[in-house]
Amino acid sequence: PPVDEDKFYYEKTKPSEEYYLMAGRLVYYKRFDLGVEAFKKLGKKLKIVGDGFAASKLKNSADSKYIEFLPYLTQEKLRELFLNARALIFPQIEHFGLIAAEAQLCGLPVIAYRDGGALEIIEDGKTGLFFNEQTPEAIIKAVQDFEHLKLNRKYISQVAERFLKKNFKDKIKSIVYQTCLR
């Protein structure tokens, strides 16, 4: 799936706040529960963007001192959060993971579970960091390791350009031409 470069793009900024971010539909398989537990234990700020069936359960288990829920945001506001966050936390298994690609196009590193579409999006240690178990403890360790890294947000955005609409269209055209010409 392509990323809309008119809505998600890199802009050099210095993150204005110390927070991490999770975003998407609040449903069980996306494992927002792991982020909530990890950040309660870490005592660090986490902003969760989205809404869904698991919202009330997540809110009940969250510590509002550290975790903020933002149910509905414009794409412009989401981009602003991408530009100012420390990293996107991505503990789920997705076929692709469009939110991770959008975040990276904005230059945001992604801390992700090592499986699924994240393997196509993230360069470990360069555009983000992987963890190997879907547990709060694995996320805690990954966040602690991440805080010692110095990642280049412009590089992250440049690598993510492979997911732009234009590139997606060009690849589809190429596949169609190759298939039809055989």
Nearest CA to 135 among 35, 62, 28? 35
Q: Give the model confidence (pLDDT) of 142-156 as tens digits.
A: 999 999 999 999 999
Q: Is the model's pLDDT at 39 over the cut of 70?
A: yes
Nearest CA to 9 among 102, 113, 128? 102
Q: What's the chain's average pLDDT? A: 93
In sequence order, which ranges of the chain are alpha helices (DSSP H)? 32-42, 55-61, 75-84, 98-105, 118-121, 136-146, 153-160, 165-180
pLDDT value of residue 171:
78
Q: Give the model confidence (pLDDT) of 70-119 as tens digits.
A: 998 999 999 999 999 999 999 999 999 999 999 999 999 999 999 999 99
Environment class of 151 (CB within 10 Å of its CB; exposed 0-12, middle 13-18, buried 19+): middle
Nearest CA to 143 among 70, 62, 39? 39
End-to-end CA distance of the chain: 26
Q: Which residues of 59-72 are buried (b: 16+ CB within 10 A; e: fewer)?
A: eeebeeebbebeee
Give the predicted TM-score (pTM) of the model: 0.91
Q: Give the model confidence (pLDDT) of 7-31 as tens digits.
A: 999 988 776 679 999 999 999 999 9
Please answer whether residues 26 and 58 qualify as being in contact, where contact means their C-beta atoms are separated by less than 8 angstroms: yes
